[in-house]
Amino acid sequence: MTERLSGLPAYTDFVSAVETAPRARTRWPFVIIAVLGVLLIAAPIVTGMFPRAVKAQAMIESFGPYMTPSSSADYRGDIRVLDGAYSDVRTLQAHGLENGRYDRVDQFVGDYPGIRSDITTMIDSIDAERGNYQRLAALPALGALPWLLALPGVILLGAGIFGFRRAADGRRAAGPRILAGAAALALIVIPIAGGLFPAASAAQPVIDGFRPLLTHEQVRTLQGYFITLVAADGELDGRYVTAVRTAHPDAGLSGVTALESRWQPMTARFAALVGAMNDNVDHFDAVVALNDTTKPLGFTAFRGLGWCYLIPGVLALAAAAAGIRRRAVSPIHAGETP
């Protein structure tokens, strides 16, 4: 009987084989990490965030010089000067003191109420949205934001794949966990340190405030106003003032004189603003389109931007930490008897 059993493996050999055989480790956290990585890579691509964020950044930088209190004060001063010139001409017309026909001046008089209304509305909008604009301008470069989603996504995807493979082979996956944790922490820090949450409520008011202004139709209207003003000034500074002063030396022309003294800086400011508006109509449309990409989910993109970093970051960090336990030490070791 002893001789027949001598070919069986010893108990110690069996225990040793069991203890040294690789055993698959927890893999589901790496599945979650990889899925989060895919989502973070896909989100800025599907929403067109890469080109649209660059255009948003360009628009914010372009309008910077026009969003200051001093800039608004200059434009309001220009309006007061135009008011004075308009008042002078209207007074001369009412008293029949023009001595001639002046088509360009007449067009200025006819168009000026609309010119004044549109320019005043534009400056009022700038003043009303200055605080919101400054909150957006204080954000990190908007063009970098999609990369700050996609790059952590690449790291999470790689960590998830390699971690899953190592866990399936029964090997420790400390490296992939560390990489995933670092990417997750970056996703958590970015919206907090970058001020995405305080700026979340600023985008929609700015969009609503500038929506009537940043259209091709409105820009063409302002360009038409500019042509009207240039033509009227040329006529006022030429034969109009000369004819009026010759016939009526005591006629009141202080408003027209003030316009001439301020004309060069005024037209430079006006032309620069109209040019900036013309250059940014398409950029503004891209910002609106980006903001609207998440509307089917019940929120606008800028309002949810901070959460798009924070929530995946928290989930990825939790997944990276999940399954980390000290392996239980077997009570039976090689060489022991049961």
Instruction: Please identify which residue in the block is written with the tokens 């203890």.
Output: 19
11 found inside a domain: no
263 found inside a domain: yes
pTM value? 0.79
Contact 303, 293 (CB under 8 A): no
- CA torsion through residues 15, 16, 22, 28, sign: positive
29/145 Cα distance (integer angstroms): 26
6 found inside a domain: no
Other residues' Cβ atoms within 10 Å of the Cβ of residue 14:
12
326 found inside a domain: no
107 found inside a domain: yes
253/86 Cα distance (integer angstroms): 10
Q: CA separation (Å) from 162 to 50, 180, 266, 315?
A: 28, 11, 64, 18
pLDDT at 26: 82
334 found inside a domain: no
pLDDT at 128: 96
Q: Where are the alpha helices (DSSP H) in 64-102?
A: 69-94
304/165 Cα distance (integer angstroms): 34
Kindly give the interhelix angle for 301-321 and 203-210, rounded to the nearest 10 degrees: 160
150/157 Cα distance (integer angstroms): 10
Contact 237, 260 (CB under 8 A): yes
Which distant-in-sequence residues (6+ apart) come within 8 Å of 179 by Cβ?
155, 158, 159
276/294 Cα distance (integer angstroms): 28
Report the SS3 class of residue 246: helix
Domain that holds residue 135: 26-321
Contact 192, 44 (CB under 8 A): no
Kindly give the interhelix angle for 301-321 and 28-46, rounded to the nearest 10 degrees: 160
173 found inside a domain: yes
Instruction: Please identify which residue in the block is written with the tokens 């399936």.
Output: 168
pLDDT at 315: 97
Counting the structural domains of the chain, the total is: 1
pLDDT at 169: 84
pLDDT in 10s for each residue of the chain, 338 residues: 445 445 555 555 544 544 554 555 688 999 999 999 999 999 999 999 999 999 999 999 999 999 999 999 999 999 999 999 999 999 999 988 887 889 999 999 999 999 999 999 999 999 999 999 999 998 888 899 999 999 999 999 999 999 999 888 888 888 999 999 999 999 999 999 999 998 889 999 999 999 999 999 999 999 999 999 999 999 998 889 889 988 888 888 899 999 999 999 999 999 999 999 999 999 999 999 999 999 888 889 999 999 999 999 999 999 999 866 544 444 444 444 44
pLDDT at 9: 56
Secondary structure element (H or E) that encloses residue 312, with its range: helix 301-321
pLDDT at 10: 55
Contact 162, 176 (CB under 8 A): yes
Q: For residue 249, give the amino acid letter.
A: P
329 found inside a domain: no
